[in-house]
Structure 1
Amino acid sequence: MATRELGRTGVRISSIGLGSAQFSGGGAGTFFPVLPQSQVDAIVKAALDSGITWFDTAEGYGKGRSERSLSAALTRAGQRPGDVTLSTKWTPLGRTARSVERTVSERIANLGPFPVDLHQIHVPYGSLSSIRAQARAMARLVEQGKIRAVGVSNFSARQMETAHEELARHGVPLASNQVQINLLHRKIETNGVLETARRLGIALIAYVPLRSGLLTGKLHADRDLVAKLPRVRRMMTGISDKSLGRTTALIDGLRTIAAAHQATVGQIALAWLITYYGDTVVATPGASKQHHAEEAAGAMKITLSAEETRRLAELSTQVVR
């Protein structure tokens, strides 16, 4: 499976990674169901067998539970340090930059024996220290060999540039910015994030690349499934009969292209994401079942034509305007 460089760090990753917020133990107000470790093991094994070599987690996903669950699953799957790439995140809320260095030992312990390949600042707000101070703390971790690369998450173009500037003073590149990107959320094209990332050589990691299931087409095919979703998920994602109706034309377009490639609607949505923006954008869909991971990995094998890519962008623009 072809890999991509994570920014200008030399770290190689699969263009589709596996997000592991679902391994948090039912956090975020029951947004995710509680998955037994045996199911996590099966999901991670399916991802590995399908070509995924990069896994993303965070301190904030179940207070480290996701990190520990992911590490255990990788170990049971026979993986060793260096076989896969792992990224995690530090939670800045109510903390100073000193917490970055104080808590890295927890990240290392939770993910052990696997190293922290990418450590990210989870959000650009809530810390008692400046972004520059947080970036300096991250740079020191690289210098000490405790982490391999530094990333951010949910940063604006200006905030991303600030972190980049501070890290550069220490000879450390900013590897990535993890933000929401999907066919229904393309703000990176107008808010400066995409342009800045390309100019500075920073990778953009797309979270919720399937818009919490809306871009799989499954809810459009069976609208009764909407009522079965957790209420908090419906509220946070805006999934409703109205949003399903508004996006029907886009889903129909995805279905047509999916049929031509013998693929699923979700696979085409992911393939568009890692194609339309060139090598700048990679994605971390989550999975609560084995086939979710297998389908996501399958998107890396799909080659969309220029016309198919353009058509989906056009249909998307009609919805997001």
Structure 2
Amino acid sequence: MTMPISRRPLGNSDTFLSAIGLGCWQFSLGKGLVGKFWDVLDKECIQEIVDESLQNGINWFDTAEIYGRGESERALSQALLANGCQPGEVFIASKWWPIGRRASHILSSIQERQECLAPYPIDLYQIHQPYAFSSIRSQMDAMAKLVEKGAIRYVGVSNFNAKQMRIAHQILSKYGIKLVSNQVKYSLLDRRIERNGIMDVAKELKISIIAYSPLEQGLLTGRFHENPSASTTLSGPRKFQGKFKRQNLLTTKPLIDVLRSLTEKYQATVSQLALNWLITAHGETVLAIPGASKVKQARDNAGSLQFQLEPDDIEKIDKISKSIQNR
């Protein structure tokens, strides 16, 4: 059996992260518009999920201002404290929400972000969307000031296209600062970034891709293909999404079948194989941040670090994944 996946650099930096981090959108406690996407987790459950992640080799966590209007950040910091985790022992990523705001808000709101995450510092601060009342230049100028003040360590973006990545990278470079990451949607069922230039630019400029929704909100666990009626138990907006409908489950089932055919060989679950493909198929370029609303899911996510798919199996999964995308 192949060796576990070692930690990898965040972009062109000297910081090494586990290839799997924990996405903390589920920690929103039902607050705010996007916080209602998931069921409300109690603080004990959140603490257990964070503990399980830490115990199984995950050393970083991704949250955002928009996740429950700061509730996710607060819940994460409280869970880390409850688990005896000291500042500096883990890496924290958060995101500024730009819609309807100007770049000056990046500077005026950083104290609130710091207070929500206290006593843990903000290691990676990301522009959550490319839509704001200010230009990318103004936003990067503000982010550079935060780095220079020591308020954050690294600058990242999220949902930026290839051209926007280049612009952000060029502006930061003038300050001697590196753009280390672009957080985008990426999974075996959504590979647009391989076709629209984002992956190419990431590799060229040594920018990490942070894949969100790497399991397509649970679709790539195989649970819904095995039992299509399970989709009727979904809560929130997920229950209205077409990908969970029976016809679409039939379309994506060949991919699940290939993943399931490899479970015995790697002693891994379908979701672990799907995650492992993401973090091995492009060398060290991709990190993934699956979420977890149960301890079992956190354990399963971390388990994807314990093996490496062989080249023939990477290719096999690649082919069936692409065939589904082209239908």
TM-score, shorter chain, exceeding 0.5: yes
Aligned residue among 157, 160, 168 for 1:163:
168
CA distance in 2, matches of 1:110, 1:21: 15
The alignment status of 1:183 with 2:188, answered yes or no, reads yes
**Matched ranges for 1:206-285 at <5 A:** 206-230=211-235, 232-236=237-241, 238-285=243-290
Matched residue type, 2:14: G
CA distance in 2, matches of 1:11, 1:155: 22
* Percent of aligned positions that are identical: 46
TM normalised by structure 2 equals: 0.96
Indicate the residue corresponding to 1:6 in structure 2. 10
Indicate the residue corresponding to 1:124 in structure 2. 130
CA distance in 2, matches of 1:235, 1:66: 24
- Structure 1 portions without partners, runs of 5+: none
Aligned residue among 61, 69, 74 for 2:80:
74
Q: Hey, which bits of structure 1, 4+ residues long, moved more than 4 A? A: none
Q: CA deviation at 1:26?
A: 2.1
Deviations 1:77-103 (A, max 9, x none): 110011100000000011110000111
CA distance in 2, matches of 1:133, 1:62: 26
The alignment status of 1:62 with 2:79, answered yes or no, reads no
Q: CA deviation at 1:29?
A: 6.7
Indicate the residue corresponding to 1:201 in structure 2. 206
Q: CA deviation at 1:313?
A: 0.3
Indicate the residue corresponding to 2:149 in structure 1. 144
CA distance in 2, matches of 1:135, 1:223: 45
Alpha-carbon spacing, 1:223–1:87, altered in 2? closer, same or farther (3 Å): same
The alignment status of 1:300 with 2:300, answered yes or no, reads no
Partner-residue secondary structure (3-state), 1:279: coil
RMSD between superposed Cα atoms in Å: 1.1
Q: CA deviation at 1:183?
A: 0.3
Indicate the residue corresponding to 1:34 in structure 2. 40
CA distance in 2, matches of 1:67, 1:307: 41
Indicate the residue corresponding to 1:319 in structure 2. 324
The alignment status of 1:51 with 2:57, answered yes or no, reads yes
- Structure 2 portions without partners, runs of 5+: none
Partner-residue secondary structure (3-state), 1:191: coil
CA distance in 2, matches of 1:195, 1:306: 21
Deviations 1:146-171 (A, max 9, x none): 00000000000001111111111111
CA distance in 1, matches of 2:208, 2:180: 6
**C-alpha contact 1:29 1:232 (8 A) present in aligned 2:** no
Q: CA deviation at 1:222?
A: 1.1
